Amino acid sequence: MTASEHRKAPPSLVSKDEASPCLDSDAYLFDIDGTLLNTQDLIHYRALNRAMRDVYGADTTIDGIAYHGKTDLGILKAALERVGVSDDVFATRLPAALDIVRHDVDQNAHAFAPKVCAAVPELLARLQSAGKLLGVASGNLEVVGWHKVESAGLRSFFSFGCFADRYENREDVFQRAVEEVQRRLRLEATVCFIGDTPSDIRAARHAGARVIAVATGIHKREDLLSHEPDFCVNSCAELVQIIAM
C-alpha cells in the first residue's frame, strides 16, 4: 500500500495482510519519547540547560530548537551554535557537559512522571510472548533513557538499548542497534523500528530496516505518511488490534 492509499484508508480498514511484513520481524526496536511515553516534567530539559550554562558559560536554553527526533548531542550542539559556540569548543567540553546531564537526571529521576502511550504495555507483552527480541533505540543518553523507561514500568520488556552517548546523529544510533540485533540473533535477522518522527523513519531506512510510524508524538499521521514508512498508525493500540485479528 502506498502512502497516498494509506491516507485514504481509515485505520480500522487496514488489514493484517498489509501490516504483516512489519509484524513478522525478528526484532523490534522502539524510540522512547513520543513512542513509548511522553514526559510532563522538566528534568531532562533542565539538565541540558544546566550543562550549557555551567560548562559552556552559555546563557541559553533548548527552547526554539526542533529537538523532536534529535539526539541529546544534536540538541546541545544546535542550541550552542545559536549563541556562537564553535565546533572545536563544543567537542572539547562535551564530555563534561554530558556528565552534568547524566548526574542531574540520575539525581532527579525519582520525579519522572511519564505518561505511557496508548496500548504500549500490551503491544510489548504480545511481541515478547511471541518470542521477538525487543530493544530501545533512542537519541537520549543511556542513563536518561533507561530512567524514563523504568519510571514508566517498561524496563522488563527490553533486552538491550542503544543510545546517543557517542553519537550525534540518529542514523548512527539506529545502525548500532541493528548490529546488536545481528549479534544477538543472526546476520539475516529482520528488524523493525517503531518511532514517532520523520527522523526515525529516515534513520531506519539508513540502517536497512523496516519502520512503523506512530502518531503519538508531535507529528500527525498525515505528516508521517509523507515520509513513506512501511506502515503508519495513530497509536500502538491499532497494532495490538491488527495482531489480534
For residue 166, what pLDDT is reported?
A: 95
Asked if residue 210 and residue 98 are part of one domain, the reply reads: no
Residue 39 reports pLDDT greater than 80: yes
CA distance 48 to 105: 9
3-state secondary structure of 216: coil
C-alpha cell at 89: 569548543
In this prediction the pTM is 0.90
Give the mean pLDDT of 167-181. Answer: 97
Residue 231 reports pLDDT greater than 50: yes
CA distance 136 to 159: 8
Residue 23 — very low, low, confident or very high, per pLDDT cuts 50/70/90?
A: confident
Query: In the chain, how many domains are there?
Result: 2
Asked if residue 105 and residue 176 are part of one domain, the reply reads: no
Residue 10 — very low, low, confident or very high, per pLDDT cuts 50/70/90?
A: very low
Asked if residue 133 and residue 98 are part of one domain, the reply reads: no
Q: What is the pLDDT of residues 124-139, one digit of tens each?
A: 999 999 999 999 999 9
Q: Is the residue at 7 inside a domain?
A: no
Among 89, 111, 133, identify where a domain stops: 111
Q: What are phi and psi of 137, to 5 degrees?
A: -130, 110
Radius of gyration for the alpha carbons in the chain, expressed in angstroms and rounded: 18
Q: Find out whether 154 and 116 touch, Cβ atoms under 8 Å.
A: yes
Give the mean pLDDT of 204-209. Answer: 96
DSSP 110: G
Domain membership of residue 50 as a residue range: 43-111
Give the mean pLDDT of 152-181. Answer: 97
For residue 8, what pLDDT is reported?
A: 37
Identify the CA nearest to 167 among candidates 197, 207, 122. Answer: 207
Q: What is the pLDDT of residues 90-112, one digit of tens each?
A: 999 999 999 999 999 999 999 99
C-alpha cell at 68: 523532536
Asked if residue 127 and residue 101 are part of one domain, the reply reads: no
For residue 214, what pLDDT is reported?
A: 96
Q: Is the residue at 3 inside a domain?
A: no
CA distance 76 to 241: 39
Asked if residue 234 and residue 170 are part of one domain, the reply reads: yes
Identify the CA nearest to 148 among candidates 40, 19, 238, 244. Answer: 40
Among 57, 80, 111, identify where a domain stops: 111
> Can you say whether the dihedral through the CA atoms of 10, 16, 18, 23 is positive or negative?
positive
Residue 7 reports pLDDT greater than 60: no
Q: What are phi and psi of 153, to 5 degrees?
A: 75, 25
Residue 205 — very low, low, confident or very high, per pLDDT cuts 50/70/90?
A: very high
C-alpha cell at 171: 542514523
Asked if residue 227 and residue 175 are part of one domain, the reply reads: yes
Asked if residue 105 and residue 26 are part of one domain, the reply reads: no
Residue 22 — very low, low, confident or very high, per pLDDT cuts 50/70/90?
A: confident
Asked if residue 228 and residue 140 are part of one domain, the reply reads: yes
Q: What are phi and psi of 92, to 5 degrees?
A: -65, -40
Give the mean pLDDT of 43-67. Answer: 95
For residue 69, what pLDDT is reported?
A: 87
For residue 198, what pLDDT is reported?
A: 96
Asked if residue 126 and residue 95 are part of one domain, the reply reads: no
Q: Residue 240 is part of a domain; what is its CATH number?
A: 3.40.50.1000
Q: Residue 57 is part of a domain; what is its CATH number?
A: 1.10.150
Asked if residue 177 and residue 134 are part of one domain, the reply reads: yes
CA distance 9 to 223: 15
Asked if residue 52 and residue 32 are part of one domain, the reply reads: no
Q: Is the residue at 10 inside a domain?
A: no
For residue 14, what pLDDT is reported?
A: 53
Residues of the chain above pLDDT 70, percent: 91
Residue 220 reports pLDDT greater than 70: yes
Asked if residue 25 and residue 141 are part of one domain, the reply reads: yes
For residue 67, what pLDDT is reported?
A: 85
Among 111, 131, 161, identify where a domain stops: 111
